Amino acid sequence: MHKILIGVTGGIAAYKIPDLVRELKRQNFQVKVILTPFAEKFITKLTFATISDGAYTQEDWEDKPLLHIELARWADVFLIAPATANTVGKIRNGIADNLLLTTVLAYNKPLLIAPAMNTVMYKSPQVQENLKKLKEWNHIIIEPEFGVLACEEVGEGKLASKERLIDWIYFSLEPKHLKDLKVLITCGATREFIDPVRYISNLSSGEMGFSLARVARWRGANVKVIAGHTSVPEPPEIQITRVNTTEEMREEVLKHYDWANIVIMNAAVSDYRPSQTSPKKIKKQEKLTLELVKNPDILEELGKRKKHQFLVGFALESENLIHYGKEKLIRKNLDLLVANPTESMGSKNHRGYIITPDGVEEFSFSTKLESARFIWDKIAEMLSKRP
C-alpha cells in the first residue's frame, strides 16, 4: 500500500483537499496530512484527522521535534496542494519556518507542487521564476487551471482538479520503463454516417485505450491518442485528437505513424460504411435499404508500412478467438495482438489473450487499468529483447 503525504497551505483551495484525501483512501492509499498555521484558518486539523491516517500541525512538531524526519521517511509521494505563492517562494529559498517546510527539506525525492492563487500573482515574474527553479531541481509543478477564482476574477490560478492531482500521484509511483519513447494509441468507436443524425457504430467505450494511454504516460512515454467516440472520462495530461469516421482516423494515424516508436491500434473501427451519405435527414419509410462498402483496413496498412515501429493490434471475436488472433498477427505483420471475447466491449472487467510470435498467454483482470499495466509489462519485456 503506497503512502501519500499531503501538505496543505493557507489558500482558499484548501477546502478541496478533504475530498482528495477521501478518494485516495478509496483507492487504497495510506494518506497523512500536514497543515501550515495559515491552512488551519481555512480547515481544521480534526477534519483531516477523521478521514486520513494522520494529520499534523505546528503543535505536534513542538511535542515531537523529529516529526519532520519521520514524515519525510514515511512518504512514497509528497504532494503540496494548494501551494501558495508564499510557500513556493520559501521552498525555492530553503526556508524552513514551519513543519511543512522543514519536512520538505528532509524529503530527498521530487515533490509534487500544485500552485493555486490569483492569476496576477501566479503570472508575476517572482512566482514564475520560483517555479522555474523548482522544475530545474526536478520537482513536478502541476499547473493550475483556468477558471473563476475566489476573488471572482477569471484566469489561470485555479487548483488542479482532483483527477489531475491523483493522476500525477500515479505518475510519481510508476517505474519509467517507457521513458522518452513515443507512443501512438487509437481508441473508441468510429461512426459512419447514413445522414446528418444517423450512423453505424459499435459499443466501444474507449476505456481500454485510455487506460493504455494513462499507464504509458505514467511510465515516461510521450503519448498521443487518436480517439473516436468514447463514453468514459478522458485521461488527464495527454494530447487527444478527435475523429468521427474510419477514414478520418486513418488520415490522423498516418500523419503520426513515422513519429511513433510504439503504435497500439485499440480503436473499434467500422469495417463498412454507407456507399452514400444523405445530406438531409432521411424521412421515415416502411423499408430502407443501405448499400455498404468496405472501409480501409488501417492496421493492415500500418503492418505493410512498418519500419522501426512496435505494432500492437486488438481482435474481438465471438468464436475461435486464438485461431483468428494468430492468423491476424501474421497477416497484419504485428508484434503483439490482444485477443478479446465480444463481451469485453463496453465491460469493466477485461479478459483475453496476448498473442505474440512466441506464444499465447491468457489474462483476466477486474479492471482495464490492470490489463493495461499487464499489456505494457509484456511490451516492455519484448522491447528489452530487441537488438
Which residues, including other chains, have CB under 8 Å from residue 318's CB and lie 6 or more apart?
Answer: 341, 342
Query: First CA to last CA across the chain, in angstroms?
Result: 37
Catalytic residue among 151, 173, 254, 282: 151
Which residues, including other chains, have CB under 8 Å from residue 187's CB and lie 6 or more apart?
Answer: 204, 206, 208, 209, 210, 212, 213, 225, 226, 227, 228, 230, 266, 267
**Phi/psi zone of residue 266: left (φ > 0), alpha (ψ -120 to 50 degrees), beta?**
alpha
**Phi/psi zone of residue 152: left (φ > 0), alpha (ψ -120 to 50 degrees), beta?**
left
Which residues, including other chains, have CB under 8 Å from residue 296's CB and lie 6 or more apart?
Answer: 246, 247, 250
Beta-ladder partners of 264 = 185, 312
Residue 284, helix vs strand vs coil: coil
CA distance readout (Å), 323 to 300, 341, 360: 18, 13, 11
Active site residue 151: yes
Buried b (16+ CB within 10 A) or exposed e, 187-223: bbbbbbbbeeeebbbbebbbbbbbbbbbbbbbbbbbb
Q: How many other C-beta atoms are found inside a 10 Å radius of the C-beta of residue 146?
A: 12
The residues annotated as belonging to the active site are 151
